[in-house]
Chains A and B, each alone.
Chain A
Amino acid sequence: MGKATRAAYGETLVELVEEGLNIVVVEADLSGSTTTAKLGAAYPERLVNVGIAEQNMTCVAAGLSATGRIAFTGSFAVFGAGRAYEQIRNTVCYNNFDVKIAPTHSGVTVGPDGGSHQMLEDIALMRVLPNMRVLVPADYVSAKAAIRLAAKTPGPFYVRLGRVGVPDVYEEGFELELGRAYILREGTDVTLAACGIEVAKALEAAEMLQKQGISAEVLDMVSVKPLDVDTLVESVLKTGRIVTCEEHSVLGGLGSAVSEVLSEVAPTPTRRIGVADRFGTSGTPDELIEYFGLGADAIVEAALELFRL
């Protein structure tokens, strides 16, 4: 198992500061968990802690960006994106401030803390905001690339990070391009379009499908917004079927974004893997992935269903 995507956060910020970027991170008393404490340890003046106050955190970051800084915020997804949603909308996005919301602890893999802490609606909330770009990296390396891309591209970003270790998908040195999907495996029979930790699950599912004689194409839809419509359409025109996979509510996230586009330009039989319209629950991350039907076998089953249509 590789490192968690959150492990990329503090580390990458330190690197970016060392490269001369005028970065500041505003935290809400979770700098140890989010790993931004690493930046604070190396450069204390670059870490501002507002205490347990995510709404203030978000707007203080906006004010800091107004004085020429690239401002990141910390916290967990349910608070950093959820509790501060209206601040992100009206202060960060409406003003198009250079603020990057990069909360850790998204999805069910937060684990034993339970439903209150398992953010399953953040992609939905963030992708509908004008000016906001949404990146959902699959592993530690792509999380580093996503943080770098966000830092170097002016304007608001949402970079969705997770708590637990995930399999490595990319090689060190990978650079991310905004609005691009990555074809991780070519195939002809079904497209598996995934984001975040579900990318590794989709790759696993593709292997399983191969054993059944089905050739699956795996796309990493890391840039949920802007979405790489060309790659997506090209893939489904070839395969004729698509399964979307995300560690998020099945409502409003990647599956919805993909369906919205394809229904207009290339209607395609689709199955959406995600958490059904419900809250999370306590358990270990691995147990929860299975419990909520986010594992490779669930993806395989969804793909096979498309062949039975």
Chain B
Amino acid sequence: MSVSAFDGEKVKSIATRMRIDIIEMLAEAKSGHPGGSLSAADIVATLYFGGVLKYDPSDLCDKMRDRFVLSKGHAAPVQYAALAEAGIIERKELLGLRKLGHMLQGHPDASKTPGVEVSTGSLGQGISVSCGMALGLKIDGGSQRVFCLTGDGELDEGQVWEAAMFAAHEKLDNLTVIVDNNGLQIDGLCCDVMSLGDIGAKFSAFGFDVLEVDGHDCFALHEAFTTPPCKDKPRVIIAHTHKGKGVSFMEDKASWHGTAPSLEQAKSACDELCAPKGSDA
């Protein structure tokens, strides 16, 4: 899909549907991580439905596919919502989230869920795996890209910086790391728990091409995702987001990192998400 063919309004409405799915599946599961799933909804929707990620829903093993790795595995619901939207998994599976015998595990399990490339959940490992994939694809001479979504709190893990060093050293210009920069981690504000400093400057110092965008602006995200790679440089896109985005009582609250909404709260959240634009103006 060319940039001009990008239908941002369509992607935005898909992102909203995904948010509703996230709320509903978490309420049904009675556990899970709404904050970081909602903050990443526009990013994931733009990747999957903005013509960015090249994949064939009917051939998930296609060697020419781009790879998406959800390093912040606790945000699994956002990927599950996208997989349902893409028709890769059946929508009814969403209500089996976190339940015994169902395919949607609390954190992504590639052996159980079609469309999941790598089982993740232990933070900091997804970027390294993505580096290995990007290197393999590059050696094979393919044009496939690897997109890896990480959280900002996840950047506390030292392995992230081992991987950043490696990605630059190996000139992995087919690798894009997306930081869901919502500013919160479990124990509170990232800047209070562990100061990250200037994330862009850090990645830049490691040799990354750095882009910063509003992580809730699908048009800006699309532009960043489709900006041609800088030759020989891996890219990081720092997407500024709000944890719990779209549900006012969850927004920017660390307490909604890993707490599922009650059925009542879920109804209120979905009502808000369904409300026509500008209704609060």
Residues of A within 8 A of B132 (CB): 26, 59-67, 71
Contact B122 A45, beta carbon cutoff 8 Å: no
Is A183 among interface residues, defined by CB-CB distance under 8 A? no
Contact A67 B140, beta carbon cutoff 8 Å: yes
Residues of A within 8 A of B67 (CB): 66
Contact A87 B125, beta carbon cutoff 8 Å: yes
Is B136 among interface residues, defined by CB-CB distance under 8 A? yes
| Stretch in contact with the other chain, from A6-14, A48-56, A208-216 | A48-56
Is B266 among interface residues, defined by CB-CB distance under 8 A? no
On whether A53 and B162 interact (CB within 8 A), knowing A87-B125, A90-B119, A96-B111, the answer reads yes
Contact B139 A45, beta carbon cutoff 8 Å: yes
Residues of B within 8 A of A153 (CB): none
Residues of A within 8 A of B140 (CB): 67
Among candidates B121, B137, B158, B159, residue contacting A67 with C-beta atoms closer than 8 Å: B137
Bound CA span A61–B133, Å? 9
Residues of B within 8 A of A59 (CB): 125, 128-129, 131-132, 159, 163
On whether A63 and B122 interact (CB within 8 A), knowing A50-B162, A55-B162, the answer reads no
Contact B136 A55, beta carbon cutoff 8 Å: no
Q: How far is the CB of B160 from chain A (nearest CB, A)?
A: 9
Interface size class of A (residues with CB under 8 A): 20 to 34
Residues of A within 8 A of B84 (CB): none
Is B130 among interface residues, defined by CB-CB distance under 8 A? yes
Q: A55 — nearest CB in chain B belongs to which residue?
A: B159
Among candidates B109, B111, B130, residue contacting A63 with C-beta atoms closer than 8 Å: B130
Is A2 among interface residues, defined by CB-CB distance under 8 A? no
Bound CA span A89–B170, Å? 26
On whether A56 and B163 interact (CB within 8 A), knowing A90-B122, A90-B125, A91-B122, the answer reads yes
Residues of B within 8 A of A71 (CB): 132
Interface size class of B (residues with CB under 8 A): 20 to 34
Residues of A within 8 A of B124 (CB): 55
Q: B130 — nearest CB in chain A belongs to which residue?
A: A63
Is B70 among interface residues, defined by CB-CB distance under 8 A? no
Bound CA span A60–B119, Å? 14
Question: How many pairs of A and B residues are in contact by the CB < 8 Å rule?
Answer: 97
Which DSSP category, helix, strand, loop or mixed, fits chain A's interface? helix
Is B206 among interface residues, defined by CB-CB distance under 8 A? no
Residues of B within 8 A of A185 (CB): none
Is B166 among interface residues, defined by CB-CB distance under 8 A? yes
Is B75 among interface residues, defined by CB-CB distance under 8 A? no
Contact B166 A56, beta carbon cutoff 8 Å: yes
Residues of B within 8 A of A32 (CB): none
Is A94 among interface residues, defined by CB-CB distance under 8 A? yes
Bound CA span A56–B124, Å? 9
Residues of B within 8 A of A90 (CB): 119, 121-122, 125
Is A95 among interface residues, defined by CB-CB distance under 8 A? yes
Among candidates A45, A58, A63, A96, residue contacting B133 with C-beta atoms closer than 8 Å: A63
Among candidates A51, A60, A65, A86, residue contacting B128 with C-beta atoms closer than 8 Å: A60
On whether A53 and B136 interact (CB within 8 A), knowing A59-B129, A90-B125, the answer reads no
Q: How far is the CB of B192 from chain A (nearest CB, A)?
A: 26
Among candidates A53, A62, A91, residue contacting B166 with C-beta atoms closer than 8 Å: A53
Beta-carbon contacts of B93-115 to A below 8 Å, as 1s and 0s?
00000000000000001110000
Residues of B within 8 A of A91 (CB): 118-119, 122, 125, 128-129
Is B178 among interface residues, defined by CB-CB distance under 8 A? no
Beta-carbon contacts of A60-90 to B below 8 Å, as 1s and 0s?
1111111111010000000000000011001
Leading 10 A-B pairs by shortest Cβ distance: A63-B132, A67-B136, A59-B128, A56-B162, A53-B162, A60-B132, A63-B133, A90-B122, A63-B129, A64-B132
In addition to A56-B159, A68-B136, 5 A-B residue pairs with Cβ atoms within 8 Å of each other are A48-B170, A55-B128, A87-B122, A91-B118, A91-B119
Chain A residues at the B interface, C-beta cutoff of 8 Å: 26, 45, 48, 50-51, 53, 55-56, 58-69, 71, 86-87, 90-91, 94-96
